[in-house]
Structures are given as C-alpha cells and as structure tokens.
Amino acid sequence: MVADETRNSIRLQNLWLAVGLSTFASLVFYFSVKPTQQHFDYTGRIASAFLDGHLGLRSPPPSWLNEMVPRDGNYYSVFPLGAVLGLIPVALLQKAGAVHGFPGHVLAAIIAGFCTYFFFRLSALEAKSLSRRILLALFPIFGTWTWCNLGFGGAWHIALGFALLGEVGALYFVLARASPLIGGFFFALAFGNRTELILTLPIYLYYLWFPREGDGDPATFKEALRQFRKKLPALLQFSMIPVALALFTAVYNFERFQSIFEFGYNRIPNVLQEPWYQHGLFSVRAIPWNVYKMLFEGFFDIPVFPFIRPNAFGCSIFLSSPFLFLLFREGGKYKIAAWIAIGLLAFVLWCHGNPGGWQFSYRYAIILLPWMFLLLVGNGPANVSAIEGSLFIISVAINAIATYQFLWTNEIHP
C-alpha cells in the first residue's frame, strides 16, 4: 500500500514537472522567435475552404502563395490531407472571430511545448537522473535546427512541427505508456503531415507485438496463434485512425487530381523546370547533394561576432548541433529500431530533388529527431557528464545565434 502511494506520488511529480517544463519551453520559444514566414498560410486557407465545403480555393490566392495548383477553376494545396485537417480547429476559431490571420507563431510555440512534454515523459524509458532527463527533453527543440526552422512559422514549418509532435507522441504511447488508440492518433498526425513517415509503421507495430522484454519468438504454431489473438486488439486499435486517414487521403487526392497517389506537387506551375528537379521530384541522383547539405556543408567565417554565419540553404546537422556526435556511442535498448528508422527516412529525404530551400541546417531532418532521441536516452550515462553538458551548451548557443541571425536580422542572404 505504501509502495503504491509512493509510486503514485512519483508519477504525479513527474507529470507536473513535465507540464512545467513544457510551459517553460513554450514561453521561451514564443518570445525567442519572429515568424517571418507566417504569411505562407497554405494549409490554413485550405482548412477554411473545407469549412465552406470546398477542397480548394475558389479565387486566385495572393501572389506569394505560388505553390497553389490551379485546376478547373480551383486552387489546390500540395500539402497532404493530414496537414490540412490539423488546422481545422484554427479555421473554426477564425470563423468565430477569435483568431485573425494565420497564427503560425502561437502554433509553433504550442508544438514546441508539447514536444518537450513528450520528450521528457519518453526519457523515463531508461533509468537516468532527473537533470539528464531535463537536458534531453530540451535538446530537440533548443539544441537543434528545430528552433530556427519551426520559428519561421510558415505552413511548411508547422507541418514539420506537427510531424515531430506526432512521432514523439506515438513513441510515448507505444513504448512508455501503452495506449494503442492514442498512439495511432499521434502516428496519423505524424504521417498525415509528412507522408514518408508511413515507412516507420512496422516499427510501431513490432513494439506493440513485443511490448516487453521476454516476449520473444513463440516456440510453436499454437503459441504463435495465441500471441496473435492476444495482441490483435492492440494492433487494430493503433491502426484504426491511420488507416482511416490513409483512405480519406486517397479520396482527397482522387477528387482533386484523379489519382489516389497524386498530391499535386509536380503540378505546381513551372516547378519541374527548376534545375534541381531535372530528374524528377525524387531521384537517386539527388542523393550526393542532399548528403553534402545534411552532413558536410560548413559555415561561413566573418570578421565580427559571432564570427560564423550559416549558409542560407543548409549546413551540416552535426555542425549546427554538435550534441549529435553522441549518437555513435555504444548501448541503448532501441538502437536497432532507431537506426533502421533513421536510415529509411534519410534515404527518402536524400532522394528529394530540393534539400529544403531557405532554411537553417537541414530542416527535413526534424523528423529524424525522435529516433535520435531514443539513441541518446539509451546510450549515455545515468547522470549528465561533462562532455554532454558542454556539447548541450554549445548546441544551444549555435542554434540561438542562428535563430537570431535568420529571424531577427537581415544578416543571412542567398
């Protein structure tokens, strides 16, 4: 009885600490960024059109929304259905007059806070000190390129933020707190905003099938059948919402472009004439350029403080976040699954013709962070080491400087 009360007290303390940490992260994020691309509100406009019973805009969009696809008198967004559905609550508030314009600034801060909450809760997978858990929970938002890129506040950045939130939420409700239906909702949020995340579905299903150590391969067919019957409800619960979203996405695509697999990106006016798409939107020929941008491109040196300046179109994730060098330490319960996910997703990202356009570091790699987080949680010491603390401070400093340079000054130019 006493032990149960102690455990409940610890759980409650962890909950309130997570809430406090997420609130802190939201406030710091909100006041440290300036959403210079908030006016690129593609998904917000389509969400409002949904409420009016239309799949696209009925009149020409503003000139800066040049990625809208004109077709049969309508203007469609190339964002997947999930990215639009995620903004329906915002559209409802706009209809009610409670919100004016696209609240990219607020959305980005809310996403940052919720991600921090789930990262902190997920850090309990390993027996680590409280200080190390807090450090790791803050790292993906403030120690990486997420800070600057999510801070831009445009539709592209909000979609990446929702994908990040969906991934870490799904991992939490599969690995830390078994709740397959909620986990499936978060997974739908993830791949609904970044379609390539569907590749990680088998990993979630695997851990639903083998949720505990010791649930190994069954010795007989009868035992396998028994396990299947036992685990089937969890698998179905997790899959319900993602399957529904996939079906609705197919219908959404077909209604607009007469193909269930067509999102419309190649229909953007003149997009295929851009030099990086000369071999198509996706091509293995794009891999070297993407690899260079993501892993090897450096900073410019300048003669005044802070003496470095990032390229306006990408730089190495390891230079922008030196803490990531710790990925390669030995150990970690989930290292195989994490590296498989990172490899699959990185390959798809590297095949994309454009490495991400105007950005700090490699913004698409935001979707790799939950899997990197699993590696970092598992392969480090119980307490914060001197090298971890130093690399964390350096990473936060680099990203704070980049956020300032990109969002608050005109120092960064093409």
Per-domain residue ranges of the chain: 2-407
Q: If pLDDT is split at 50, 70 and 90, which confidence band does 409 have? A: very high
> Is pLDDT of 230 > 90?
no
Q: If pLDDT is split at 50, 70 and 90, which confidence band does 103 have? A: very high
Helix (H, G, I), strand (E, B) or coil at 58: coil
pLDDT of residue 309: 85
Q: If pLDDT is split at 50, 70 and 90, which confidence band does 3 have? A: low
d(CA 358, CA 32): 19
> What is the average per-residue pLDDT within 368-386?
94
Share of the chain above pLDDT 90, in %: 79
Beta-carbon contacts of 25 under 8 Å, excluding residues fewer than 6 positions away, are 112, 113, 115, 116, 138, 141, 142
- Name which of 266, 267, 260 is nearest 283 in CA terms: 266
> What is the average per-residue pLDDT within 200-212?
87
Q: Are 123 and 377 in contact (CB under 8 A)?
A: yes
Alpha helices in 258-328 (DSSP H): 287-291, 317-320
Beta-carbon contacts of 114 under 8 Å, excluding residues fewer than 6 positions away, are 22, 165, 169
Q: If pLDDT is split at 50, 70 and 90, which confidence band does 414 have? A: low
Query: Structure pTM?
Result: 0.94
pLDDT of residue 224: 62
pLDDT of residue 220: 62
